[in-house]
Amino acid sequence: MKNKIKNLLKSNGMKTFNSTLIAIGLGLLVGLVVLLIVDSSNAAGGFSKILFGGFGRFADVLYYATPLILTGLSVGFAFKMGLFNIGASGQYTMGMFFALYVGLVWDLPGGLHWFVAILAAIVGGMLIGSIPGILKAHFNVNEVITSIMLNYIGMYIVDMLIKNNGKLVVGSEARTAYLPETVQSLSLGVSGSNLNIAIFLAIIIAVGLYIVLKKTTFGYELIATGYNKDASKYAGINYKRNTILTMVIAGGLAGLGGGVAILAPSLIADASQVYEPINVIAVAGFNGIAVALLASSSPIGIIFSALFISLIQRGGTSAALFGFKPQIIDIVIAIIIYFSAFSLIMSGWLGKIVKNYSRKKSKKGPDKENKVVK
Amino acid sequence: MENYVVEMLNIRKEFPGIVANDDITLRLKKGEIHALLGENGAGKSTLMSVLFGLYQPERGKIKKNGEIVSINNPNDANALGIGMVHQHFKLVDVFTVLENIILGVEPNKMGFLKKKSARKKIVELSDAYGLQVDPDALIEKISVGMQQRVEILKMLYRDNEILIFDEPTAVLTPQEIEELMAIMKGFAKEGKSILFITHKLNEIMAVADRCTVLQKGRYKGTVEISETSKEELSRMMVGRDVNFNIEKKKSKPKEVVLSVEGVSVKSKISELHSVNNVSFNVREGEIVCLAGIEGNGQSELVYAITGLEKSSKGTIKLNGKDITKLSIRDRSITGMSHIPEDRHKHGLVLEYSLEMNLILQSYWQPQFQNKGFLKFDEIRNYATKLIDQYDVRCAEGPVTITRQMSGGNQQKAIVGRELDKNSDLLISVQPTRGLDVGAIEYIHKQIVQARDDGSAVLLMSLELDEVMNLSDRILVMYEGEIVGEFDPKKVSIEELGLYMAGSKRQTKVTGGLKDEE
């Protein structure tokens, strides 16, 4: 058991985790400096709100983390195969639209209605996600370009379809109509929070993806392709099929993110979450990139990085009490993510420090380092 | 007191789980060619990377002209006049020769490049040393030999006095190797000092003045070449006697396993590399070798047979079954093993652990997966078995990250993986490229064993020694065509060379090939 813990502490995953923590710490530090520059007298109070304010509303942290986990998984999963799914926003919006359509236009009995709406969200994301996949697999078109452009195409199509359908939109076209309660996700009953069962769905999917990547032949193929496309071809791995499949899955995940966002219950009776068709790209998709980066695309790590980002976002809103503008908190979050890109350097530093420390220790004892490979 | 330009004293360099250099001392005299010899993984490249500033040693010091210096990065090395030609060239493919040579030390006037003066210096250098290059050619368009000349010119352009060559001959044709040797001797005569990393004993005997031998990260000694022999050097390097001749019985070819009929392949690189209407057979129990100078279509032909590229014409049959249109996986199932030419590009996923690489061709088989879930215990057992059976040396066993292994052991892992498939056809492309004598001897034995066990072996090699020693039948390729078929016992290396260079060829007549001047 002791050895197991030792191995765990020495494992690569742990190294990544530690360096991510240091990266976050440095990011927070720089964030604090920004706050000090903006308003030094309130910086300490504002900073502690950003860091800890979220804990007071932890149910909300979980609630806002739900779609983030899913878009983070969408980006991270594609990353594993070496694909950069920058189109999570478009997929998110399309998934949301499909769920909205099922919720408002189809008339289905209670539990089934929600279930079908969720499935529809996945299908919507998959449809739009498959396009860059097919283009990449068959015509070697760069997926970054095709997926980023689909963000706009998806969003405009959705806004157009919503505005043109009287069943979906209210008279002023300012927002979508309220969804019936039958199609809303089951609330977990935390007072004052929209937290709903979708959080479990997101966590289960993250664990599922972890298993797929680590334990299955599909995951083996996927990661091999991500590391070395030529070697995977040599191994007889079907690159085209896997590329399309990966983008379809990634699209489905982001689509589900949009679905659970729109299907979340409302705190106000007879109301629901709404979408405003005002030609703005969903930010959740881009936050997904940050979430995936911060977690080095590890599905389990993504749960925590999404929680973390959600936490400081919630905390940031309460930092407004100290007179900080919401843009400041966005800057601090951006800085943290910026620093997370340095986490590789951090792990190098960390390795050196640990090594120097252990050498000092071993100098006292007998020299056991002469390990030459037989 | 001897006059040493560079002294590396008691160098120690560690990597996680391995001591790559342990108390190594190397002294380089002015104007000498000093060979650094050792098996793969002996620590040669690490030691040179320390000298070049790529790694910092944990212990030991470096002296230049008797004074202690610290080399923290390649710029420091450069400032001390140390230059290096790496085994894998560090060139920008889409830049021209000239742009690559001046890269990092661009002559400029207020930020504007002064290519004219650079060009003048490059042309002078290339004339003075016989290093023929076209300054305006793109790197991706020129031969490997010329790329190497560009690397050498880079060092000369920077006025380096100490030149490190890391396995420079591994990628060259016999003629190019001779040219390089002459160039190196010219440098030494001029007073430049050369460190020459290699494991080819013939080359050391031909050009070096002294030789330092490393074994498993430790210093074995430094010898004068005039006072030593090939046998002694190999004993110092491997720690035992090495048999340079391959022992094999006469082949007894049986049924045709691979049949290639009228195959043409269009090359993506250049017209010259294309394969044009090639036909041949490989039979059970024989080793057929495709010989030729690099870039005459051998690689492309192998790509077409293994399925990495499509053939544009002709049929390929394996055990009588037409496999021309089959996927790589289906060819493998039909009975094909493939030791690929480039082990880093095709053969391995370097970031994966060794065990995951050992199942790269078989992970989908019921032995290793159940309903899509990998059977990790089975994989571990299988990997342990292969590691043991094929003597793959790795720091942490099956979980060693493949990138951390030496080239020779990486290749052994691939050989083990492919031979263990017991395929009817083994395609082996440059199986010993860049390996040391110990590993070469071992891999040759394994290939002969596969033949004796009834496999048909198609070997592609650029090393004429290997071609002559290992094969039962030689096919020479020139400009995408087979220009001659030989029995290795009845042909000389010189004769083969004439066919490889295109100055002789046999013509096709019914029933075989016939000589034509």
Are B446 and B389 contacting, i.e. CB atoms less than 8 angstroms apart?
A: no
Most confident of A239-253, A323-337, B57-71, B116-130: A239-253
For range B430-448, the mean pLDDT = 84
Are B225 and B209 contacting, i.e. CB atoms less than 8 angstroms apart?
A: yes
For chain A, give the mean pLDDT. 86
- In angstroms, the separation between the Cα of residue A326 and the nearest Cα of chain B is 42
Q: Quick one: CA dihedral B433, B434, B435, B440, positive or negative?
A: positive
- Which residues of B45-180 form beta strands (DSSP E)? 59-64, 67-69, 82-85, 108-109, 112-113, 162-166
User: How many cross-chain Cβ pairs, A to B, lie less than 8 Å apart?
Assistant: 84
Q: Between A362 and B390, whose confidence is greater?
A: B390
- Which residues of B385-463 form beta strands (DSSP E)? 425-429, 456-460
SS3 B58: coil
For range B488-512, the mean pLDDT = 74
Put simply, the chain B residues between 208 and 237 with a CB less than 8 A from any chain A CB are 216-218
Domains of chain A: 1-39+324-355 (no CATH), 65-321 (1.10.3470)
Instruction: Say yes or no for a CB contact (<8 Å) between B360 and A231.
Output: yes
Is residue B394 domain-resident? yes
pLDDT tens digit sequence for B83-108: 999 877 888 888 999 999 998 888 88
Is residue B150 domain-resident? yes
ipTM given for this complex: 0.80
Q: Given the structure tokens 């697999």, which residue do they identify?
A: A137
Same domain, B307 and B357: yes
**Strand partners for B318:** B258, B321
pLDDT tens digit sequence for A54-102: 888 899 999 999 999 999 999 999 999 999 999 999 999 999 999 999 9
Q: Number of structural domains, chain B? A: 3
Is the pLDDT reported for residue A308 higher than 60? yes
Residue B377 banded pLDDT, cuts 50, 70, 90 = very high
Is the pLDDT reported for residue A254 higher than 90? yes
pLDDT value at residue A301: 92
CA-wise closest residue to B85 among B1, B155, B13: B155
Boundary-marking domain end, from B159, B174, B208: B159
Domain that holds residue B422: 256-516
For range A222-243, the mean pLDDT = 93
B129 touches chain A (CB under 8 A): no
Is residue B480 domain-resident? yes
Q: Given the structure tokens 């031969």, which residue do they identify?
A: B143
Determine which of A323-332, B78-87, B379-388 has the lowest per-residue pLDDT on average: A323-332
pLDDT tens digit sequence for A134-146: 999 999 999 999 9
- In angstroms, the separation between the Cα of residue B250 and the nearest Cα of chain A is 33
Same domain, B230 and B361: no
For residue B72, how many other CB atoms are within 10 A of its CB? 9
Share of chain B above pLDDT 90, in %: 46
DSSP string, A87-154: THHHHHHHHHHHHHHHHHH----HHHHHHHHHHHHHHHHHHHHHHHHHHHHHH---HHHHHHHHHHHH
Is residue B250 domain-resident? no
pLDDT value at residue A343: 63
pLDDT value at residue A1: 54
Is residue B363 domain-resident? yes
Is the pLDDT reported for residue B128 higher than 70? yes
For range B146-158, the mean pLDDT = 90
Residue A196 banded pLDDT, cuts 50, 70, 90 = very high
Q: Between B226 and A318, whose confidence is greater?
A: B226
Q: Quick one: CA dihedral A246, A288, A95, A204, positive or negative?
A: positive
Are B304 and B271 contacting, i.e. CB atoms less than 8 angstroms apart?
A: no
Instruction: Say yes or no for a CB contact (<8 Å) between A372 and B18.
Output: yes
In this structure, what CATH number is given to the domain that contains residue B20?
Answer: 3.40.50.300
Same domain, B52 and B129: no
- In angstroms, the separation between the Cα of residue B405 and the nearest Cα of chain A is 10
Is the pLDDT reported for residue A247 higher than 50? yes
pLDDT value at residue A189: 85
DSSP string, B165-182: EESTTTT--HHHHHHHHH
Same domain, B154 and B166: no
Instruction: Say yes or no for a CB contact (<8 Å) between A232 and B372.
Output: no
Q: Taking the mean position of all CA atoms in its chain, how far away is CA B451? A: 23
Chain B residues closer than 8 Å to A220 by CB: 356, 363, 374
pLDDT value at residue A96: 96
Query: In the numeric block, which tokens belong to residue B457?
Result: 């072996």
Boundary-marking domain end, from B159, B194, B212: B159
Same domain, B45 and B95: no
Q: Given the structure tokens 């082949």, which residue do they identify?
A: B251
Q: Between B321 and B173, whose confidence is greater?
A: B321
Residue A149 banded pLDDT, cuts 50, 70, 90 = very high
Same domain, B94 and B140: yes
Q: Taking the mean position of all CA atoms in its chain, how far away is CA B478? A: 21
Residues in CB range of B319: below 8 A, 6 or more apart: B257, B334, B335, B424
Q: What's the CA angle centered on B475, arms B469 and B480, to 5 degrees?
A: 135
pLDDT tens digit sequence for A352-366: 666 666 655 554 444
Q: Please name the member of A227, A230, A372 whose beta carbon is closest to the beta carbon of B216.
A: A372
Q: Please name the member of B14, B216, B349 whose beta carbon is closest to the beta carbon of A231.
A: B349
Determine which of A355-364, B167-176, B202-211, B436-445 has the lowest per-residue pLDDT on average: A355-364
Instruction: Say yes or no for a CB contact (<8 Å) between B19 and A236.
Output: no
Same domain, B292 and B420: yes
Determine which of A40-44, A248-252, B464-468, B507-511 has the lowest per-residue pLDDT on average: B507-511
- Whole-number Å distance between alpha carbons of B361 and A235: 5
- In angstroms, the separation between the Cα of residue B19 and the nearest Cα of chain A is 6
Same domain, B261 and B136: no
Put simply, the chain B residues between 319 and 358 with a CB less than 8 A from any chain A CB are 327-330, 332, 338, 340, 345-352, 356
Q: Quick one: CA dihedral B88, B89, B92, B95, positive or negative?
A: negative
Q: Please name the member of B18, B340, B352 whose beta carbon is closest to the beta carbon of A373.
A: B18
Q: Please name the member of B19, B349, B360 whose beta carbon is closest to the beta carbon of A371.
A: B19
Instruction: Say yes or no for a CB contact (<8 Å) between B349 and A369.
Output: no
For chain B, give the mean pLDDT. 87
pLDDT value at residue B339: 94
CA-wise closest residue to A310 among A187, A194, A185, A205: A194
Boundary-marking domain end, from B134, B159, B184: B159
Same domain, B48 and B31: yes
Same domain, B302 and B446: yes
With 0-12 / 13-18 / 19 or more C-beta atoms within 10 angstroms meaning exposed / middle / buried, residue B240 is exposed
pLDDT tens digit sequence for B270-314: 666 689 899 999 999 999 999 987 778 888 999 999 999 888 899
- Whole-number Å distance between alpha carbons of A81 and A244: 11
Instruction: Say yes or no for a CB contact (<8 Å) between A374 and B393.
Output: yes
For range A337-349, the mean pLDDT = 65
Q: Please name the member of A217, A228, A373 whose beta carbon is closest to the beta carbon of B349.
A: A228
Is the pLDDT reported for residue A341 higher than 90? no
Is residue B490 domain-resident? yes
Chain B residues closer than 8 Å to A227 by CB: 349-352
Determine which of A124-128, A172-176, B420-424 has the lowest per-residue pLDDT on average: A172-176
Is residue B500 domain-resident? yes
For range A258-268, the mean pLDDT = 93
Is the pLDDT reported for residue A374 higher than 60? no
Q: Between B243 and B408, whose confidence is greater?
A: B408
B182-189: long-range contacts, CB 8 A cutoff, minimum separation 24:
B182/B130, B183/B129, B183/B130, B183/B131, B183/B152, B184/B33, B185/B33, B186/B129, B186/B130, B187/B129, B187/B163, B188/B31, B188/B32, B188/B33, B189/B31
Is residue B246 domain-resident? no
Chain A residues closer than 8 Å to B19 by CB: 369-372
Same domain, B392 and B445: yes
pTM over 0.80: no
For range A277-299, the mean pLDDT = 88
- Whole-number Å distance between alpha carbons of A334 and A350: 24
For range A1-26, the mean pLDDT = 67
Q: Please name the member of B217, B360, B369 whose beta carbon is closest to the beta carbon of A235.
A: B360
Side chain identity, residue B235? R
Same domain, B409 and B496: yes
pLDDT value at residue A158: 95
- In angstroms, the separation between the Cα of residue A235 and the nearest Cα of chain B is 5
For residue A129, how many other CB atoms are within 10 A of its CB? 33
Q: Given the structure tokens 């919503």, which residue do they identify?
A: A162
Chain A residues closer than 8 Å to B348 by CB: 228, 231
Q: Mutating which of A225, A234, A369, A374 best tests the B interface, going by the most B Cβ atoms within 10 A?
A: A234
pLDDT tens digit sequence for A104-126: 999 888 889 999 999 999 999 99
